[in-house]
Structure formats: structure tokens, C-alpha cells
């Protein structure tokens, strides 16, 4: 026991010395003391638990030995993490400040005006002030009555001009004319042009018949004169032989001088008749040539007149075609469309039946696809 007491004193001295250097050493010394007491109890072969002996320790020593409670440690850790998170968030986060001011929002690009070239009567209003519209979306429509009426009238005129040109070309060429492209859609107009073509052909044929009849008459006259000339030539040959014979008899004193003179007179008359017949034949040939010329002139006249009409009708058709394009475009533009994606602003006509003058401003489209500019008046104290 004496040795044990000596060891305890030495240990206490060391513990006291180390206690002055570090709190950790102090705690270790206290633990060592407890362990020594526990060892001593074991040596004494006691059966009581350590907890039984520790209750005799003072309250301050128990608190000092047991350390802080786990709940407090956990709470302090959570609070520390929260504070760390708040500080980190405040360091990296930007806060926006809002001020209320009076002003307007306008697009950086200019607004798109909505206009109509010809104007008209409002038939339908399809949007309202402030509506959002897409590019090409109808805003309002105009009454189609006048535009469609003009379009149908010009279409009919255009078809009629085409049919007339076909008829005149067929008449010039002496053909029947191909109206098949228009026959199904416009049967009455096609039939009218066919009837006119038939009448024109009959009129031309009648005039040609007159000239051909004159030509036939002159040819018949020429044929008769040819036969007459042939006969006269034969008679002249016979008279010439008879005159030669009488001349020979007269020269011999066997024939009558009077008979010879009669034969000579008859021969001379036959020569005159032959010359007259030949002259008439030349006149008939000239007449035939003239009649043929008249026939050619008649055909040329009809051809030239037809070509002049075709030229005039073609010019008119070109004008009508241009007008037809304009009217088709006008009918297509009866629906007034939005020129861009945006907001409807300043819708001027809001009643069905309103009359829109040509080129008048109907509304404006504020684009929404581009950048917007805010024009506001902010108080200096809010800056």
C-alpha cells in the first residue's frame, strides 16, 4: 500500500505540473484518475459497476468529464451552415430594384402601316384594338361586289377577244378554227364566233363566185374566138387559093375580071375578120387577167382586213390582260392582311359598312419580334 501511495503522489505531481500547460492534459489526468480508481476497485474484487461509484463524484466534475450535449452541437452546426449559406448567397446574388414610372413602350423599329390602294366598303372586321396578329393574318375584309363584277366583265371581254382572234386567223387561212380550249367553259360564245365565221366564209365565197363567174364567161368567149379564128384561117386559105386560081385564069383571058375582084374583096374581108378576131382574143385575155387580178385582190383585201383586225384585237387583248391582272390582284387584296407580327394599334375603321378612301391609313402594327424601347419619366429619388 505504501508503494501505491507513493505512485499516486508522483502521478498527482505530474498531473499538477501538466495541468498548468494544457487543458487537454488536465482532462487526460482526470480520466487517468478515474481509471485508477476503477482499477483499484477491480483489484479489491468488488462486484459493483463503475456507474455506482461515479455517482459519488461531484456535479461539476461530471459535467466537466461528460462534455457538451449532442443536441447543442447539432444546433450550433446547423446555425453555422445557415449563416455560411446566407453570406455566400449575398456575395454572388444581384437583387433587382423596381420603380413605378409613367411612360410608354415602343419598338426599336418603326411601326408598320396598314393601307389599301383602292379602298372600298368594310365587310368584316376580324381584329380589335390591341390584338396580337401574325404576319399575313386578315385584319378586315372589303365588300367584293364591285371588284368581282369588274373582274367578271373583264374576263368575259378577254375571252371574247381570244375567240375573235381565233376566228379571224381561221378566216384568213380559210380554216374552220380551233375553239376547243374555250368550248366547255363558254359554249355560247364559241357558237357565236363559229356562226360569224360561217357568215364571213359565205360572204367571201359569194364575192369570189361573182369574179369566178366573170372569169368563166371570159374564158368561154376566148374559146369561141379561138374556134372562130381557126375557121377564119381556113376560109382565108381557101379564098387565097381561089383568088390565085382566078388570077391565073384572068391572066390567061379565061376568067372574068369582075369575079377576080369579088374574090379579092372577099379575101380582104376574111383577113380583116381574122385580125378583128385576134384583137378580140387579146382583149378577152386582158379581161381574164384583170378578173383573175380582181380575185386575188379580193382575197388580199379579206386577208388584210382580217390582219388589221387581229392586230387591233391583240393590242386590246394586251390591255385587257393587264387590267385582268390588276383586278385579280384587287380581288386577292379584298382581305387586308397584317404586314408583320405585332400588336394592332390605332384601328381606324370599326364599323361594318364604313367606306375606306384609297390609300387611307387603316391601322398600325407594332412589331413584337424586334427590340422594345421604354420611354419613361423616373423620379431622381428612385434612381
Q: Is the pLDDT of residue 317 over 90?
A: yes
Q: Which of 23-27, 177-181, 205-209, 343-347 has the lowest mean pLDDT?
A: 23-27
Residue 301: per-residue pLDDT: 92
Q: What is the pTM of this model?
A: 0.57
Q: Which of 49-58, 79-88, 198-207, 324-333 has the lowest mean pLDDT?
A: 49-58
Q: Is the pLDDT of residue 239 over 70?
A: yes
Grid coordinates representing 19 are: 495541468
Kindly report the backbone phi and psi dihedral angles of residue 345, in degrees, each rounded to the nearest multiple of 5, phi listed first.
-135, 140
Q: Which of 31-45, 177-191, 320-334 has the lowest mean pLDDT?
A: 31-45
pLDDT digits (tens, 9 = 90+) for 199-209: 999 999 999 99
Q: Is the pLDDT of residue 320 over 70?
A: yes
Largest CA distance in the chain: 232
Q: Is the pLDDT of residue 358 over 80?
A: yes
Residue 6: per-residue pLDDT: 47
pLDDT-above-90 percentage for the chain: 38
pLDDT digits (tens, 9 = 90+) for 9-22: 444 444 444 444 45
Distance from C-alpha of 337 to C-alpha of 318, rounded to nearest angstrom:
30
Confidence of residue 268 (pLDDT cuts 50, 70, 90): confident
pLDDT digits (tens, 9 = 90+) for 39-77: 665 565 444 555 554 554 455 554 555 555 666 767 777
Determine the average pLDDT of the residues in 238-242: 83
Determine the average pLDDT of the residues in 214-240: 88
Q: What's the half-sphere exposure (Cβ side, CA atoms, 13 Å) at 102?
A: 0
The rounded radius of gyration (Å) of the Cα atoms in the chain is 67
Mutual orientation of helices 187-252 and 145-173 as an angle, nearest 10°?
20
Grid coordinates representing 355 are: 367606306
Determine the average pLDDT of the residues in 245-268: 79
> To the nearest whole number, what is the mean pLDDT of the chain?
80
Distance from C-alpha of 380 to C-alpha of 376, rounded to nearest angstrom:
12
Determine the average pLDDT of the residues in 339-343: 89
Residue 18: per-residue pLDDT: 46
**H or E element at residue 121:** strand 120-125
Higher-pLDDT residue of 15, 110: 110
Residue 32: per-residue pLDDT: 67
Residue 107: per-residue pLDDT: 64
Amino acid at each position: 500500500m505504501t508503494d501505491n501511495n507513493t505512485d499516486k503522489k508522483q502521478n498527482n505531481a505530474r498531473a499538477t505540473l501538466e495541468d498548468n500547460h494544457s487543458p487537454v492534459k488536465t482532462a487526460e489526468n482526470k480520466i487517468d484518475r478515474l481509471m485508477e480508481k476503477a482499477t483499484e476497485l477491480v483489484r479489491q474484487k468488488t462486484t459493483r459497476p463503475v456507474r455506482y461509484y461515479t455517482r459519488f463524484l461531484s456535479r461539476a466534475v461530471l459535467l466537466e468529464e461528460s462534455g457538451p450535449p449532442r443536441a447543442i452541437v447539432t444546433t450550433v452546426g446547423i446555425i453555422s451552415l445557415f449563416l455560411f449559406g446566407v453570406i455566400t448567397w449575398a456575395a454572388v446574388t444581384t437583387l433587382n430594384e423596381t420603380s413605378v414610372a409613367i411612360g410608354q413602350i415602343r419598338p426599336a423599329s418603326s411601326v408598320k402601316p396598314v393601307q389599301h390602294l383602292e379602298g372600298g366598303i368594310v365587310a368584316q372586321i376580324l381584329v380589335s384594338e390591341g390584338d396580337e396578329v401574325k404576319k399575313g393574318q386578315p385584319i378586315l375584309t372589303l365588300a367584293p361586289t364591285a371588284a368581282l363584277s369588274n373582274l367578271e366583265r373583264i374576263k368575259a371581254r378577254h375571252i371574247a377577244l381570244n375567240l375573235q382572234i381565233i376566228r379571224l386567223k381561221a378566216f384568213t387561212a380559210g380554216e374552220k378554227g380551233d375553239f376547243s380550249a374555250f368550248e366547255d367553259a363558254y359554249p355560247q360564245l364559241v357558237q357565236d364566233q363559229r356562226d360569224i365565221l360561217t357568215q364571213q366564209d359565205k360572204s367571201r365565197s359569194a364575192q369570189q363566185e361573182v369574179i369566178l363567174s366573170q372569169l368563166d364567161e371570159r374564158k368561154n368567149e376566148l374559146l369561141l374566138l379561138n374556134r372562130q379564128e381557126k375557121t377564119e384561117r381556113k376560109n382565108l386559105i381557101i379564098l387565097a387559093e381561089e383568088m390565085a386560081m382566078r388570077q391565073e385564069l384572068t391572066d390567061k383571058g379565061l376568067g372574068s375580071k369582075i369575079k377576080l375582084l369579088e374574090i379579092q374583096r372577099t379575101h380582104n374581108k376574111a383577113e380583116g375578120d381574122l385580125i378583128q378576131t385576134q384583137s378580140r382574143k387579146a382583149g378577152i385575155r386582158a379581161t381574164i387577167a384583170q378578173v383573175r387580178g380582181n380575185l386575188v385582190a379580193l382575197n388580199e383585201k379579206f386577208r388584210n382586213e382580217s390582219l388589221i383586225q387581229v392586230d387591233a384585237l391583240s393590242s386590246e387583248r394586251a390591255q385587257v390582260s393587264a387590267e385582268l391582272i390588276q383586278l385579280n390582284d384587287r380581288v386577292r387584296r379584298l382581305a387586308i392582311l397584317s404586314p408583320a407580327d405585332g400588336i394592332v394599334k390605332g384601328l381606324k375603321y370599326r364599323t361594318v359598312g364604313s367606306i375606306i378612301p384609297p390609300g387611307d391609313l387603316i391601322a398600325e402594327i407594332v412589331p413584337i419580334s424586334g427590340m422594345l424601347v421604354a420611354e419613361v419619366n423616373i423620379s431622381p429619388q428612385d434612381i
